[in-house]
Chain A
Amino acid sequence: MITVQNISKTYNKGAVKALDNINLEIQRGELFGLIGPDGAGKTTLFRILATLLVPDQGTATVNGADVVRDYKAIRRTIGYMPGRFSLYPDLTILENLEFYAAVFGTTIAENYAQIKPIYSQIEPFKHRRAGQLSGGMKQKLALSCALVHQPDVLLLDEPTTGVDPVSRQEFWDMLQLLQKTGLTIVVSTPYMDEADRCDRIGLIQKGKMMSVNTPQGITSGYQPDLYAVRSSNMYQLITDLRQLDGISTCYAFGEDAHVSVASNSGLNAPAMEAFLKQKAHNNIQITPIAASIEDCFIELMR
């Protein structure tokens, strides 16, 4: 459905490298997540796929159409939701939706079934101006507008940024519902914990695609042993552990410190505990754990 081949893009006449030789293939009907921190190049890749930017190198196609040459065809068949709220704040919910339906030569009534799961949630407020909506409602309206012309592909650039945790859960529920109708969906997010909701994810960092796989594929490919370590003095704990030979990474992760140890280093939990006791730590807990996406990301960044 979407192919990206050797795409590179720089800004300011080459001074800033936003994308560096990206390759990607997304299947029809897939829910694909593009995951990476701010400034990783997610928005640039979305804008290239949405025909808004021309890549410096490489080619990309959406539904078989080239993003540069056949931009008109692509603009008809994709639903795009930019990272920044891009609807008209002085128009009401209904007027915004009517406008985007009419621009694509259709009406709300014709596509009501398609947008109903999302739109019905904000329909009671349809005469409220878009500028006065909460973050979650804005996202729902933007998604409704992106869906109203029955696109084949949905490109959602950070749809859950700035949205409360409950609305974020709801939003992903809606995306999985939409996926069942056969839609291909590409979502970007800086939140690693949303990765599990996707069929496959791409981890992107500083313009480079580090890994593309299913969430399980990525976590099971995690090589080192991983421990969650805890003591009464977390700050001192992290400082001390970073000096211990055999530990490759050690970083704060919620209330724990996640410590990765190369399997062949010979370091294990009892040895670590002995070291920490020697450093006068109390209430030491060391638990072997399975890697999360974030752990994988940090490992890949090394």
Chain B
Amino acid sequence: MNTFLAFVIKEFRHVLRDRRSLIVVIGMPIIMLLLYGFALSNEVKNSRIAILDTSRDDVTRTLTERLDASRYFTVVQHIDRPEEADALFRQGKVRAVVVFQPMFQQTLLHTNAASVQILADASDTNTGNTVAFYISNVLRAYQNELLDQQKLPYHINVETQMAYNPQLKSAFNFVPGVMVLILILLCSMLTAVAIVKEKEMGTMELILVSPVRPWMMIVAKALPFLVVGLLNVAVILIMAYTILGLPLRGSLLLLIAECGLFVLLALSLGLFISTRTNSQQVALFISLVGLMLPSLVFSGFMFPLENMPKPLQVVSNIVPTKYFFSILKSVMIKGLGFSYVWKETLIMATMTLVLMLLAIRSFKIRLQ
């Protein structure tokens, strides 16, 4: 036991002494979170649109003003012919063009119906969709006002409520996603170099000739980084709550415990990589490039898992980020308790245990 304690102390000393790395490790998540929290967003704000309006009457003018006044759109241009829309799209000057039919007000008053065409730039599918959807919302709001003035016999009122995120803030999705990504990449990188570093520096040659057991080395390597990881979790949560305006609806204790478990999982993954490689470069490469893509693709925060082909869905089951992302959203945003996330928690705990055991098993007790 004394041997183990000596190891833990030594590992803490290594981490605390390497000030520069420590600053990077603590600072990197802050920068990444700010960068991605604000920059990565699929919200539509101040989208530039153009109006094709040949009738120029009261109704079209009101509608144009309403579009311009909404925080989603800025009317940047009025055009006269439909062909001009193509040119605008090609130059990327506008996201959408709203086309009012000729003699709009007259037609509306006489036939009780007039059409509006929405041309959206769908080269970016999501944004195109959202822009078109928001424009029709503005138009529908005006239509509802008209309906209120005239009594119609039948009339279906659709009321949509966006649960948990009424303002559709993209931060609610991105911040947990970025958290997952930061934690798995950072923590696995920290331990991925830890053991292989001793092999490279030659210190392993001496430490092997001692009563030290593989589990002592592995566990001792993980402990200081667990503290660092939890520190990162605290910083991220505080920033998410204060700067990015994310709610912390569920139990804070549960949230921190789940984060701790995920950090441990990432550390175990890194340790497993570290025992299997022979140079720091290879270990870093595997933990960065090898984990980045699956974590991003299969966590479900960029691409919905349900839309993926079946084989990919099966693959996603072995990607740990998927479970943590789901837990984070459930606990942070929806405010659910442990009874809703115990399955994911159990899977993550099992993964951690298996990776730890694999790391201990693949630890080489001799050189080469």
Contact = CB atoms under 8 A, between A and B. Distances in A.
Interface string A63-80: 000000001100110101
Nearest to A145: B206
Contacts of A87: 203, 206
Nearest to B17: A90
Interface stretch (B5-13, B32-40, B179-187, B352-360): B5-13
Nearest to B7: A103
A75 B209 CA distance: 5
Nearest to A96: B10
Nearest to A89: B201
Chain B interface SS verdict (over half): helix
B65 interface: no
Nearest to B210: A103
B153 interface: no
A49 B14 CA distance: 30
B208 A52 contact: yes
Interface residues of B, number: 27
Contact of A103 (B6, B202, B203): B6
Interface in A88-112: 88-91, 95, 98-100, 102-105
B31 interface: no
Contacts, number: 81
A224 interface: no
A75 B366 CA distance: 11
A98 B5 CA distance: 12
Contact of A53 (B7, B204, B366): B366
A89 B197 CA distance: 13
Interface string B188-228: 00000000000001111111111110000000000000000
B367 A95 contact: no
B368 interface: yes
B211 A72 contact: yes
A86 B202 contact: yes
A277 to B, nearest CB: 56
Given A78-B209, A87-B206, 14 more contacts: A52-B205, A52-B367, A53-B368, A75-B211, A85-B202, A86-B205, A86-B206, A87-B203, A88-B10, A90-B13, A95-B13, A102-B2, A102-B5, A104-B210
A80 B209 CA distance: 7
B210 A90 contact: no
Given A75-B211, A90-B18, A103-B212, A47 B2 contact: no
Interface range for A: 20 to 34
8 contacts: A47-B367, A72-B211, A86-B203, A86-B204, A88-B10, A91-B14, A104-B3, A104-B210
Interface in B97-126: none
A67 B99 CA distance: 87
A105 B211 contact: yes
Nearest to A68: B366
Contacts of B201: 86, 89
B365 interface: yes
B3 to A, nearest CB: 5
Nearest to B6: A102
Contact of B365 (A71, A76, A90): A71
B14 A88 contact: yes
B3 A103 contact: yes
Contacts of A91: 10, 13-14, 17
A104 B211 CA distance: 6
Nearest to A129: B17
A252 interface: no
A89 B17 CA distance: 11
A282 B128 CA distance: 99
A82 B204 CA distance: 10
B209 A84 contact: no
Interface in B302-354: none
A33 B165 CA distance: 77
A19 interface: no
A98 B9 CA distance: 11
A26 interface: no
Contacts of B207: 86, 103
Interface string B8-34: 011001100110000000000000000
Q: Which of B5, B7, B205 has the most CB of A within 10 A?
A: B205
Interface in A115-151: 145
A88 B366 contact: no
Given A71-B365, A84-B202, A102-B3, A51 B209 contact: yes
Nearest to B204: A86
Nearest to A72: B211
A50 B368 CA distance: 14
Given A51-B209, A76-B211, A80-B209, A99 B10 contact: yes
Contacts of B209: 50-52, 75, 78, 80
A245 B295 CA distance: 78
Contact of A52 (B5, B17, B18, B366): B366
Nearest to B208: A52
Contacts of B6: 98-99, 102-103
Contacts of B205: 47, 52, 82, 84, 86
Nearest to B365: A71
